[in-house]
Each structure stands twice: as C-alpha cells, then as structure tokens.
Amino acid sequence: MNRVTRRVWLMLVFIAILVGGMGFFIFEYATKSDQWVVFNGSPHVYADERTAEGVFVDREGQTLLDTRDGRTYADDALVRQATLHWVGDRKGNISAPAVSYYLKEMVGYDPVDGVYAPGGADGEVELTISSYVQTVALEAMNGRKGTVAVYNYKTGEILCAVTTPTFDPNDVPDIAGDTTDTYKGVYLNRFVQSTYIPGSIFKIVTTAAALDCVDGIEDMTFECKKTYEFGVDKVTCERAHGKLNLKGAMANSCNCCYAQIAQLVGRENMMHYVELFGITAPVSFDGITTATGNYDVADAAPVELAWSCIGQYTDQINPCRFMTFMGAIASGGTGAEPYLVSRVTVGDEVTYQAQPVSTQPLISQQQADILQEYMRNNVTAVYGDRNFPGLTVCAKSGTSQLGGGEKSNAMFAGFVADEAYPLAFIVVVENGGYGSSTCVPILKEVLAACKSVMDEA
C-alpha cells in the first residue's frame, strides 16, 4: 500500500498545471482585459462597428450623435454637416477615431466591475467643439474646400474645426457619381488628415529661426528690387518693396527679403529649427494622429532653399500642427496641445477628464514677444484691425502657389493675444486665391462667434 500511496504525487502534476494555468490566466486578465474588452467587435462595448452605445455632445451639451439605437445625428442639418468629420458617417467612410477611442470609458469599464453599470446607464462624451461656431465657420466657407480651426492655446480645447466639403449624413448625396469635383476628398478631415503647401505663413517659422540664430537680424535692412537672383534662377515679388527691415519684410511678405534671410540662416539651421519647432511632426490627441508635414532641403539648391523659407518648394504643413505652433508663440514659447474630447461620463460617474498638456518649449519668451509684435503689426498695418472688434489679433497670411495653372490656396494663421480670449487659429481655403482677402472675412465671422461663446461661458 505504501508504495501506491507514495506514487499519488503524480496527481500533483495535474493540479499544478491547472493552478498554474489559471494563475497565468489571472495574470493575463490583470494585464490585458482592458484590451480584450474593447477589441473590435466586443459585444458589450460596440453599438456598431465603431463606437459604444452613448451620446456625443458639443461643449454646450447639444447632441451631435446618439448611438443608443443606431446612429442618430443632430436635429439641425447644418450642425450635422459642420460636425460630420468628428463623429463620422453611417457607412464608416469617414475615419472619426475619437468616437471609438474612449470606448472603455464610455462603457465605464474597470477590471473589477467589468462593463456593469447600475441601471444600464450609457456613456456621454463631451466634445470641446461648439456646434454654433462650427456652423458659423461652415457658412463662412461658403462651399469652398478647406478647413477653419480655432483652439484655446491655454487649455488645448478645440473650439472649432470645420472641414469642407461635407455632407448631411441624413441625406447622403451621390458622392460616387459626382463628376463636378464638388465632393472631392469629402471623406477627409482636412484639419487632421491633410497637408498643404504653407506659402507665406511659413515665413513665421523662418523669422523665428532667424531671430534665434542670426545676431542683430532685427536691425538689418534688406532691399527688394522685385527679383532676387541666384545665377539663372530667381525669387520674385509682385512689386519692388524697396528697403525693409525684418518687421517690414514680414508685413509686406517680401519674398526677396526672405531669400536673403534664408541665406543668413542657412540650410543646416533651417532644418534644425523646423525640427525643433516640430513643424512637420504629427500631433496626437484622443486617438487622432495628424498627417506628417514635410521640410527637406538636404539636397536643395540655394534658390530652392530660399523658396523653402518662403513656404514653397517641397514644404508641406498640417493645419492642426501649424495651429499648435501659433499657440506656442501666443503663449510665450510653450502652448497647449490641442484636444477634442473634454470628458466622458457614465451616469454620474466621470470616467475620463481631459487634462491640458503643454507642448515642449519651442521658442524663447523674448523671440515669442518679437514675433507677436511683428504679427500684430501685420494685422494693424495690412489686414485691417477693424475686422476683429474687441480682439487683439496677430496673424500672417499666405498664398501658396500650386503650379499647373491651379489657383493658389489661401492660408491664414495666427492668434488672439488677449488674456480673455486665448485663441490660436488657422484658415485654409483651397484655390481661394489671396490669403488675406479670402481668409480674413471667414475668420472675422468665426472669431466673433468664438468670442460670443466665450463671453457667454
């Protein structure tokens, strides 16, 4: 008997496998269950293939999307169009990552209670955008393609980010059969997914670089004779600006002056500063990662370097990233990273609350102040301060040439320097022609709307 008794230890092997296996599972549960629960198709989480059951509202609490029973959009057709690219369409043609990013928080998931919610409360996701400002911006775009975006550079809240063309998800047009290019690129959220040739708004970057690395640049004068020659190649202006200092060069957006400044800064320095300012790097927030820009002058000829500093050549910027850079200048070198989702609640419980995230220090306070002064001068001297009543707007326009006979893109970027309205913005109108004349009327409407929203709050 003894020997049979002694052999019973073999059973311990089975027990060890079972206990060990379950132990391993509990380890996996502790480390991976939050991924399992939001894995695509997870039955308790997904209302459809993209999002959980819940309500998406704007900053004023107006419903933009309700996924509790299919997809119900805002009541107002204009609001539906103005916010479509943030909440997505029914077919999933528009990538709206933010609606699927906070699934775990929308279902109130935690490893102890799982997705159990007392009384079956559904999640509510509050976005930072104002549907009122969105509609104002959409109307101001007046059928043109492009994007208008405004964010609070102190907190990071995106107040407005409209992208056009758009459509009403409750009345989907025949996009596939569109031959007029009305809906070209309609599924793109241009604010985050597109890159544009910046044109002269890039001169802000060049100026910032020059302020840092060229001693005494502010006191230098440059002469514009309408053209500036590099052997057979040349940089041109629309007219001869004459003698200008740096401030004047920016106000007049003088290409010839900037060709000279480009030479002073040099290829290596330009590449260094573009990298340092993060001009081409993507921005990430709420599951969204913006498109990567481009600045490559490694093999550029001197004239090409000059054009790159004017925002042409192979330069590409993403509107969201450039807007963030504006925010950094406005707040003295360190701005806030933008975000779209301010908080998620399930019943009374707050499961996600956005926290402001600062950018890396991009430029010094001193340089930021000088840039601010120059950009303020642009508005008062050129764009017209009366367009922005009650707001101290600092900005730079751009008219990016596309080549191939296409009408230029109108670009406009800058910020409001008022303490009460810490807003940075960017306006892009594709084939919109001159930057200031096209964009200022749009921005005028949008900033006024932003101001009224902020005054109310």
Comparison of 33 and 62: residue with beta carbon closer to other proteins: 33
Maximum distance among all alpha carbons in the chain? 112
Least distance from other proteins to the Cβ atom of residue 106, Å:
13
Contact between 399 and 407 under an 8 Å Cβ cutoff? The reply is: no
Calculate the alpha carbon distances from 24 to 16, 17, 32 in Å.
Answer: 12, 10, 12
Contact region with other proteins (CB under 8 A), list: 36-44, 262-270, 385-393, 441-449: 36-44
Q: How many CB atoms lie within 10 A of CB 43?
A: 7
How far is residue 249 from each of residues 204, 258, 280, 395, 397, measured CA to CA in Å?
11, 7, 24, 14, 13
DSSP helix, strand, coil percent of the chain (3-state; round to 5): 40, 20, 40
Give the residue with the Cβ less far from other proteins, 49 or 69.
49
Q: Give the nearer residue to other proteins in terms of CB position, either 8 or 457.
A: 8
Complex with other proteins: residue 42 or 62, whichever CB lies closer: 42
Nearest-approach distance from CB 51 to other proteins, in angstroms: 16
Residues of this chain, 418-447, that bind other proteins according to CB under 8 A: none
Binding of residue 10 to other proteins (CB under 8 A): yes
* Binding of other proteins by 17 (CB under 8 A): yes
The residue with tokens 């840092």 is: 212
Closest listed residue to residue 311, CA positions, set 410, 444, 394: 410
Q: Which helix (H) or strand (E) covers residue 345, if one does?
A: strand 341-346
Establish if 6 lies at the interface with other proteins (CB under 8 A). yes
Which region, judged by CB under 8 A, interacts with other proteins, from 3-11, 247-255, 327-335, 363-371? Answer: 3-11
Nearer to other proteins, 107 or 427 (CB): 107
Given 36, 61, 172, 178, the residue binding other proteins (CB under 8 A):
36
> Which of these segments, 37-45, 68-76, 221-229, 271-279, binds other proteins (CB under 8 A)?
37-45
Among residues 18, 172, 350, 420, the one that binds other proteins under rule CB under 8 A:
18
Q: Which stretch binds other proteins (CB under 8 A): 39-47, 190-198, 366-374, 430-438?
A: 39-47
First vs last C-alpha separation in the chain:
86
Cα–Cα distances (Å) from 185 to 5, 84, 390, 399, in that order, read: 77, 14, 36, 21
Distances (CA, A) of 403 to 197, 292, 408: 11, 22, 8
- State in angstroms the smallest separation of the CB of 97 from other proteins: 20
Query: What Cα–Cα distance (Å) separates residue 262 from each residue in 130, 224, 256, 259?
Result: 40, 14, 10, 5
3-state secondary structure of 157: strand
Which one of residues 31, 39, 320, 365 is an interface residue with other proteins (CB under 8 A)?
Answer: 39
49 binds other proteins (CB under 8 A): no
**60 CB neighbour count, 10 Å cutoff:** 13
Tell whether residue 34 is a contact of other proteins (CB under 8 A).
yes
CB of 61 or CB of 111, closer to other proteins: 111
Does position 349 interact with other proteins (CB under 8 A)? The reply is no
Stretch that binds other proteins, among 11-19, 95-103, 174-182, 376-384 (CB under 8 A): 11-19
Query: To the nearest whole angstrom, how small is the minimum distance from the Cβ of residue 32 to other proteins?
Result: 8
Between 67 and 189, whose beta carbon lies closer to other proteins?
Answer: 67
Question: How many C-beta neighbours within 10 Å does residue 312 have?
Answer: 22
Structure tokens at 449: 């709307």
14 touches other proteins (CB under 8 A) = yes
DSSP state of 325: H
- Nearer Cβ to other proteins, position 21 or 61? 21
The tally of CA atoms less than 13 A away on the side-chain side of residue 361 is 6
Binding mask 82-111 for other proteins (x = CB under 8 A): ---------------------------xxx
The H or E element spanning position 297 is none
Query: Segment near other proteins (CB under 8 A), from 14-22, 131-139, 332-340, 348-356?
Result: 14-22
Point out which residues bind other proteins (CB under 8 A).
1-12, 14-15, 17-19, 21-22, 24-26, 28-29, 33-34, 36-37, 39-45, 109-116, 118-120
